[in-house]
Structure 1
Amino acid sequence: MKGFNHVNAATFEEACDLLNKSRGTAQVMAGGTDLLGIYKDRILEEYPETVVNLKTIPGIDRVEECNGALVIGAGCKLGALEKLPLLRKAYPALAEAARSVASPLIRNLATIGGNICQDVRCWYYRYPDSIGGRLKCLRKGGDTCYAVKGENRYHSVFGGMHAHATPCMQQCPAGTDISGYMGELRKGNLEAAARIIMQYNPMPMITGRVCAHWCHGACNRRQYDERVAIGSVERFVGDYVLEYGDLFYTAPETSTGKSVAVVGSGPSGLAAAYYLRQAGNEVTVYDQKKEAGGMLRYTIPAYRLPKDIVRRFVAALAGMGVKFILETTIGRDVDPVDLGKKYDSVYYATGAWKRPLLGLAGEDLTVFGLDFLMEVSQWMQGKVGTDVLVTGGGNVAMDVAVTAKRLGAKNVTLACLEAEGQMPASEEEIERAREEGIVIMTSWGVDRVLEESGKVQGMKLKRCVSVFDEKGAFNPQYDERETFVVKAQNILMAVGQQADLSFLSEKFQMQLDRRGLIEVSEETQMTSRDGVFAGGDVTTGPASVIKAIAAGHNAARGMCRYLGVALLEVRNGHSKFTTFDPDGIEQPKMAREKERALGERSLDKEDSFGLEAAEATNEAKRCMDCACYSVNPSDIAPVLVMLGAEVVTTERTLSAEEFLTTRLRARDNLGPGELVKEIRVPKANGVAHYDKFRVRDAIDFAIVSLASRFETQNGVIRDARVVFGGVAPVPYRAIAVEEYLKGKTITEALAAEAAELSVKEACFMRHNEYKLHNMKYLLKQAILRALQQE
């Protein structure tokens, strides 16, 4: 065991002060029975520099009755508790729980405060560093709970709890609660699944088709077999949202009296418009195009995103009361200064439509990729030529290349700076391009256009050896000695876009950053002009659709705060416990959307067909809902919840139920430098006991335990409290059972019915269904015992 500084605290105040000053490098020790084992086995990466001993604080181990309640100091030994005559007489369940803990040796060292704050005993979590290296499970900040696919006989039968955001959620720029909506879909709650997505992203019918879906790369299923088809499931839910738009795009019930303008109707502007309107503001969207939708409407090919999908989404926003003023350019048709006076707040999301100039010879003979996509109808009749070169490695470049091929080009070559595996385009789009015969040349940059008599003959390329410098900045480096010539009649440049800041003028300025983009507050997205906000490509440069949506949502939050308006808060999509489908996670293959045959693909028909309802539901069942499925090991915690105890810290008083059942780790309810000081247990009427099923009575933690209290009169249950231990990540209070028992006469049949009800919401894992039988047995016996002891 590594060494550490050891400090004896004289008071709680001193202990808290030491913790605050340590900035996370100090830990406290009560009994030490758990903590020293953690240090010795090095099961955690972090190791304290200082350990603060609490045992030296006077009175920390006191036990006394005060104002009708039992007050127990956090440092009171469990061995002392189990022997107290007062406890055995007036609080028998607490005495029984204390006596059930481990062995006499452990009980003479372990404290009640340490017991309720101890770490889990999951063998994955506790795997010693000295035996092959510690396992970084989800609870330790890793990505997965090994019990989901591994040995889980002692784990939860009521689901898991999130230790942090799931890996897929972390990778989504919008922070979409992916496992949340997957969970609702598994239960058949399609509307609930849709409402979870809509809290983060109002256009899943679009992102399900065109999002880069970084979540795919973070899916933990990849460690075992194929990832979950998140994008396909999102598309299915999104199509449902669009079909039943009246449910999801509703006008606000009340008006804030505030009016806002959104300049630009791309994904960022439309997302902002949705959330601003949902909050009750009057929203007007301005755009210079004939139709709203921005690049969603004008540059993403219809074979990937049908135009009708965009039009229907825009119509749904209009149905909410969002107003659209089109074919109007801010800065030309409307003065931005006047716009700011007309509205209470303005959001600029004008996108990145401008062509960047690279300065290479013959660049004026090439065609800008976005212009090509917007004017595709003008390239019919063979104008595209036989041989085409496309430059760029993103999704726009892939769209340009595939579109050129479908327009009739015989040979399409795509050259990009990035190496194989580093291209910014999505895997799906790269695969589509290769399926259609497009030759992709990676690690090549443009050198000069080859021309003859003003006509393009091809492009000279040079080898790119690196794209970014050591700081991650875009700074391509080339080997000028290695070159290659690609013959082409047309060169379509899709190597980037520049933000459209044409609305800025001498009398309407904003602070720009070093890249020439609008500088905004990271938190609110307000610009240097009061009440004026900006987001999307004009602040980040060209980015993905989902990043633009996230920017629009964040800007809506910032604008609402500025206006003093309450924006609808994002609510966690999960119930307390997460669940997964044991059979579903055993399915190795992901669902795949049906594709049109290569020979049937065109420019105006969507290439793929979405999942059917059964396929989407089955795919959601493959989601592991990455949470921690370990169980709370404390014997004392279920009893405190059952008795309605209070946990007193150095700063406040919390109910035991709040402290012990709301967070995966009880100690996470403590703030920096906050410590458990004492526990207050009220006297309880009725028959209260603690029952524990384990393998070895002398030492084992509970496989299943039950803290119960039944207040009866003439065989009728007047009140009941039922709390299980060892079956969930936190003590599990069976409220449905409590309500069911009240007012009923105790009989064998009643006890059996209550036992069945106690496991109704269970979601057992592959190897722990037996725990349900233990639960039913303990509860049935406890109910019948209450009648005997009345």
Structure 2
Amino acid sequence: MENFEHINAKSFEEAGKAVEGNKNFSKVVMAGGTDLMTVMRTRILNEMPETVVNLKTIEDGAYIRDEGDQIAIGAITKLKDVVSSEELSKSCVALNEAAHTVASPLIRNIGTIGGNICQDVRCWYYRYPEDGGGILNCARKGGSECYAIRGDNRYHSIYGGMKTKVTGCSLSCPVGTDIGSYMELLRNHDMQGACDILIGYNPLGAITGRICAHFCQDDCNRGHLAATEAPGEGDDSVGIHTVERCMGDYMFAHPERYYTAPEKETGKKVVLVGSGPAGLTAAYYLRKAGHDVTILDSQEKPGGMLRYAIPNYRLPLKYVDRIEELWKGMGVKFQCGVTVGKDVEAADLEKQYDKVFYATGAWSRPVLGFDGEEFTEFGLSFLVEVNQWMQKKERKHVLVIGGGNVAMDVAVTAKRLGAETVTLACLEARDEMPSSEEEIHRALEEGIKIMNSYGVSKALYADGKITGMELKRCVSVYDEDHHFSPEYDDTELLSIDADSVLMAAGQRVDLSFLKEEYDLAVERGRIKTDEVTRRTNRKDVYAGGDAVSGPSTVASAIRQGREAAKDINKTYGIDCPVYYEKKGFTKFDPDCLSIKHSVKDIETPVSERRIDKEDSDTVPEEAIFEEAKRCMNCACYSVNASDISPVLLMDDAEIVTTKKTINAKDFFTTELDTKDMLEPGELVKEIRVNKLDGYTTHYEKLRIRPSIDFAIISLTTAVKKAADKVDDIRLVLGGVAPVPIRLYQVEDYLKGKTMTADLIDQAVDMAVADCFVLRKNAYKVTQVKTYLKRFLESI
């Protein structure tokens, strides 16, 4: 055991101040000490505590006092005193019984009621991380998964799990979509409900499902697992982008549900400059809120990069046209061929509209400064003018500079337009390339040569024509802080013959339309905004997309457009977009690990691919319903450890802290961990139990060893009878879910009724109707039914 600082607190307030600013559990409090000793001995926590604050020295911290309608219990009251309390035996005997079932007499002589309700989870993956052949960093301790999903789950939840944090897939998604929640609905074939979730984050699912780099799949736990039934065999990530593509197409096909005009108008006018993904997203949520929305764009048609920079084989124009059609149907107005700074001034927009949002993209060519740069061509311009490119002059051997998706688009497009050879050179090594694996694979399939770890030295030219490029070896792309800072070996040079060199190594933001006197804050050549609200330094002016971030992803632009719209709506007291709020517990398919490989888009054979036809087709709905089964819905499936909390939930007790009073239902069922209901430095100081006069209360639990073990299941009951009928009844299950469960539906069903065999059977079936059985814990359902039926028959 490591050394630590020890503080004897004189009051709860003093103890709270001592642990304020606590990070990574470096400061902990101890009352009974039973849990903390285990923490420090077995290294449950990733880091040992540096400071231990002793609560046992607090004066008047342990008491049981009759206060009229309630009994007040000090947080450091020993469990043995709760067991022997006459006050509780008269008003809530279930609390006596629950305290008596906690472990052994020794533990009850040390343990406190406050410590019991705030104790750590009893899951062995959490408590004994080294017993599985290596360190098991479970989700409760900052890891990415709950090992009960694929390991021993005999004692785990039969009602589902709860999220410990934002899961890796959602965290890596630039849009931030709640992927696990819509996957859960898709498993139940609820396409409409799943799309309701998606569109709350992203109204362009049909677009991102086709062109997004889907970073979400890189952090999907399925892709990180070895198959359990065939050791050594890999496991695919869930095909999230394929699923979202199908969902996006469904939304586009059902505008009457997803792309409707608002029911009422706000009278507010908003203008958006730029009709790319950021502008379109902001326009969607602003119009849904009821504002008058106008989009200005300098191009002939709306869509921005979606229309002009992404090849048809990846994103057919019909989908961009569909966006324009749907947005117009919602009442969004487009004014194309309008350039700010030329046709209208930025300052005038502020006068004409209530809010302004700039999303002008990054269309300008960067200047790298190498010799002969003027003889090369801008890759983005090539994509915009692709239909005219081949007519300009004959190009047989094309060299593309860049390693991102735009570079891949340029290379593949050039090859399909008839170039004999296409070579792509980029600074990054193969595993560093910013392009998605799918795009790299597509390029290799079509015969494009990729030269990794090479950068531009100079252009080779003669008589005003490009003849090739001299490249130099790039030995590193990033510095130790992962900032872009390439280093080269100038002695390792390589010449490449080419009659066309297309520079696709990034674009630059052009803010020349903003006059100097307009005074909009700019930083590193981009519009400066607040990272959460997307507000600029000018009142009522917002910005997003590449104009703020520099060249980035479509998904990132969508999020920034949504964030700006959300803040604009908030200023008018409108909650739009409305995000899906998960109710109840998370669930997954217990057989999910048996399906090893993910669903894929229906790919066109390489020999049949063209420049003007999409390379793939959307899978049918049934395919994504099956794919959703592969999602583990990564959460914690452990069960609540406290014997006391189910009784307090049944009693509608109150938890008094150093800062507030919290109802037991909120305290025990809102968050996975009760500690998350407390602010930094906030401590539980008292429990207030309501006197249940006229009720008969009881607590019992199933456990393996009566002398020590936690509940496999527990049942807390309270009943008040009027003649032969149930006047009131309260039923709480413990040990069956991450938090105690009060059976409100069953209670309402039984109130005012006389117990009969049929009534009891129906009530028992109702109690387990939502059970979610894992591979090894089905017996717990049987035990719940047995305990509940036995109790109801005793009434």
Alpha-carbon distance in 2 for matches of 1:567, 1:708: 41
**Is structure 2 residue 655 aligned with structure 1 residue 647?**
yes
| Aligned partner of residue 513 in structure 2, secondary structure | coil
Alpha-carbon distance in 1 for matches of 2:671, 2:50: 27
Q: 1:131 offset after TM fit, Å?
A: 8.9
| Aligned partner of residue 477 in structure 1, secondary structure | strand
Name 2:717's counterpart in structure 1: 708
Name 1:581's counterpart in structure 2: 589
| Aligned partner of residue 135 in structure 1, secondary structure | coil
Q: Is the contact made by 1:537 and 1:548 (CA closer than 8 Å) also made in structure 2?
A: yes
Q: Deviations over 1:655-711 (max 9, x none)?
A: 111101111011210112111111111122333211211111121111011111222
- Which of 620, 641, 666 does residue 628 from structure 2 map onto? 620
* Aligned residue-pair number: 784
Q: Is the contact made by 1:43 and 1:134 (CA closer than 8 Å) also made in structure 2?
A: no
| Aligned partner of residue 118 in structure 1, secondary structure | coil
Residue range with higher mean Cα deviation, 362-371 or 301-310:
362-371
Name 1:439's counterpart in structure 2: 449
Q: 1:135 offset after TM fit, Å?
A: 2.3
Name 2:146's counterpart in structure 1: 145
Name 1:675's counterpart in structure 2: 683
**Is structure 2 residue 549 aligned with structure 1 residue 548?**
no
Q: After superposition, where does 1:55-74 map in structure 2 within 5 Å?
A: 55-74=56-75
**Is structure 2 residue 309 aligned with structure 1 residue 299?**
yes
**Is structure 2 residue 661 aligned with structure 1 residue 661?**
no
Q: After superposition, where does 1:297-696 map in structure 2 within 5 Å?
A: 297-380=307-390, 383=393, 385-513=395-523, 515-561=524-570, 563-568=571-576, 570-684=578-692, 685-696=694-705
The alpha-carbon distance between structure 1 residues 583 and 132, as it changes in their structure 2 partners (threshold 3 A), is closer
Q: 1:52 offset after TM fit, Å?
A: 1.6
Q: Is the contact made by 1:382 and 1:407 (CA closer than 8 Å) also made in structure 2?
A: no
Q: Is the contact made by 2:285 and 2:577 (CA closer than 8 Å) also made in structure 1?
A: no
Match of 2:352, as an amino acid? K
Q: Is the contact made by 2:7 and 2:53 (CA closer than 8 Å) also made in structure 1?
A: yes
Q: Which runs of 5+ in 1 are unaligned?
A: none
Q: Is the contact made by 1:42 and 1:129 (CA closer than 8 Å) also made in structure 2?
A: no
**Is structure 2 residue 260 aligned with structure 1 residue 255?**
no
Match of 2:302, as an amino acid? A
Q: Deviations over 1:615-653 (max 9, x none)?
A: 101111100111011100111111111121111112211
Alpha-carbon distance in 1 for matches of 2:547, 2:418: 35
Match of 2:93, as an amino acid? P
The alpha-carbon distance between structure 1 residues 512 and 381, as it changes in their structure 2 partners (threshold 3 A), is closer
**Is structure 2 residue 719 aligned with structure 1 residue 719?**
no
Name 1:748's counterpart in structure 2: 757
**Is structure 2 residue 772 aligned with structure 1 residue 763?**
yes
Match of 2:649, as an amino acid? V
Q: Is the contact made by 1:585 and 1:621 (CA closer than 8 Å) also made in structure 2?
A: no
Alpha-carbon distance in 2 for matches of 1:529, 1:293: 26
Name 1:737's counterpart in structure 2: 746
Q: Is the contact made by 2:527 and 2:548 (CA closer than 8 Å) also made in structure 1?
A: yes
Q: Is the contact made by 1:350 and 1:538 (CA closer than 8 Å) also made in structure 2?
A: yes
Q: Is the contact made by 2:717 and 2:731 (CA closer than 8 Å) also made in structure 1?
A: yes
Alpha-carbon distance in 2 for matches of 1:522, 1:178: 23
Q: Is the contact made by 1:384 and 1:490 (CA closer than 8 Å) also made in structure 2?
A: no
- Which of 749, 772, 781 does residue 772 from structure 1 map onto? 781
Alpha-carbon distance in 2 for matches of 1:310, 1:21: 50
Q: 1:570 offset after TM fit, Å?
A: 4.2
Alpha-carbon distance in 1 for matches of 2:765, 2:394: 71
Q: Deviations over 1:173-211 (max 9, x none)?
A: 221111111111112221121121112111111001111
Name 1:182's counterpart in structure 2: 183
Match of 1:588, as an amino acid? K
| Aligned partner of residue 201 in structure 2, secondary structure | coil
| Aligned partner of residue 507 in structure 1, secondary structure | helix
Alpha-carbon distance in 2 for matches of 1:526, 1:728: 43
Q: 1:474 offset after TM fit, Å?
A: 2.2
The alpha-carbon distance between structure 1 residues 359 and 13, as it changes in their structure 2 partners (threshold 3 A), is closer
Match of 1:216, as an amino acid? Q
**Is structure 2 residue 39 aligned with structure 1 residue 38?**
yes
Match of 2:618, as an amino acid? G
Match of 1:10, as an amino acid? K
Q: Is the contact made by 1:60 and 1:76 (CA closer than 8 Å) also made in structure 2?
A: yes
Q: 1:511 offset after TM fit, Å?
A: 2.2
Alpha-carbon distance in 2 for matches of 1:14, 1:259: 53
| Aligned partner of residue 293 in structure 2, secondary structure | strand
Q: After superposition, where does 1:223-242 map in structure 2 within 5 Å?
A: 223-224=224-225, 225-242=235-252
Residue range with higher mean Cα deviation, 104-113 or 89-98:
89-98
Alpha-carbon distance in 2 for matches of 1:43, 1:133: 14
Name 1:20's counterpart in structure 2: 20
Alpha-carbon distance in 1 for matches of 2:788, 2:359: 60
Q: Is the contact made by 1:384 and 1:404 (CA closer than 8 Å) also made in structure 2?
A: no
Match of 2:423, as an amino acid? T
Alpha-carbon distance in 2 for matches of 1:244, 1:131: 49
Residue range with higher mean Cα deviation, 552-561 or 728-737:
552-561
The alpha-carbon distance between structure 1 residues 384 and 657, as it changes in their structure 2 partners (threshold 3 A), is farther
Residue range with higher mean Cα deviation, 442-451 or 501-510:
501-510
Q: Is the contact made by 2:66 and 2:87 (CA closer than 8 Å) also made in structure 1?
A: no
| Aligned partner of residue 447 in structure 1, secondary structure | strand
Q: Is the contact made by 1:737 and 1:754 (CA closer than 8 Å) also made in structure 2?
A: yes
Q: Is the contact made by 2:569 and 2:576 (CA closer than 8 Å) also made in structure 1?
A: no
Alpha-carbon distance in 1 for matches of 2:22, 2:639: 31
Q: 1:405 offset after TM fit, Å?
A: 0.9
Alpha-carbon distance in 2 for matches of 1:31, 1:552: 52
Match of 2:444, as an amino acid? R
Q: Is the contact made by 2:21 and 2:680 (CA closer than 8 Å) also made in structure 1?
A: no
Q: 1:557 offset after TM fit, Å?
A: 2.8
Q: Is the contact made by 1:41 and 1:130 (CA closer than 8 Å) also made in structure 2?
A: no
Q: 1:607 offset after TM fit, Å?
A: 0.6
Residue range with higher mean Cα deviation, 675-684 or 621-630:
675-684
Match of 2:382, as an amino acid? F
Match of 1:14, as an amino acid? E
Alpha-carbon distance in 1 for matches of 2:21, 2:322: 57
- Percent identity for Structure 1 against Structure 2: 52
Q: Deviations over 1:217-242 (max 9, x none)?
A: 10011222111001111111111111
Match of 1:624, as an amino acid? M
**Is structure 2 residue 158 aligned with structure 1 residue 157?**
yes
| Aligned partner of residue 526 in structure 2, secondary structure | coil
Residue range with higher mean Cα deviation, 703-712 or 516-525:
516-525
Residue range with higher mean Cα deviation, 666-675 or 128-137:
128-137
Q: Is the contact made by 1:31 and 1:114 (CA closer than 8 Å) also made in structure 2?
A: yes
| Aligned partner of residue 19 in structure 2, secondary structure | helix
Match of 1:649, as an amino acid? T
| Aligned partner of residue 687 in structure 2, secondary structure | strand
Residue range with higher mean Cα deviation, 565-574 or 405-414:
565-574
Q: 1:523 offset after TM fit, Å?
A: 3.1
The alpha-carbon distance between structure 1 residues 384 and 318, as it changes in their structure 2 partners (threshold 3 A), is farther
Q: Is the contact made by 1:154 and 1:703 (CA closer than 8 Å) also made in structure 2?
A: yes
Name 2:229's counterpart in structure 1: none
Q: 1:571 offset after TM fit, Å?
A: 3.2
Name 1:3's counterpart in structure 2: 3
Match of 2:309, as an amino acid? T
| Aligned partner of residue 679 in structure 1, secondary structure | strand
Alpha-carbon distance in 2 for matches of 1:188, 1:757: 23
Match of 1:346, as an amino acid? V
Residue range with higher mean Cα deviation, 123-132 or 579-588:
123-132
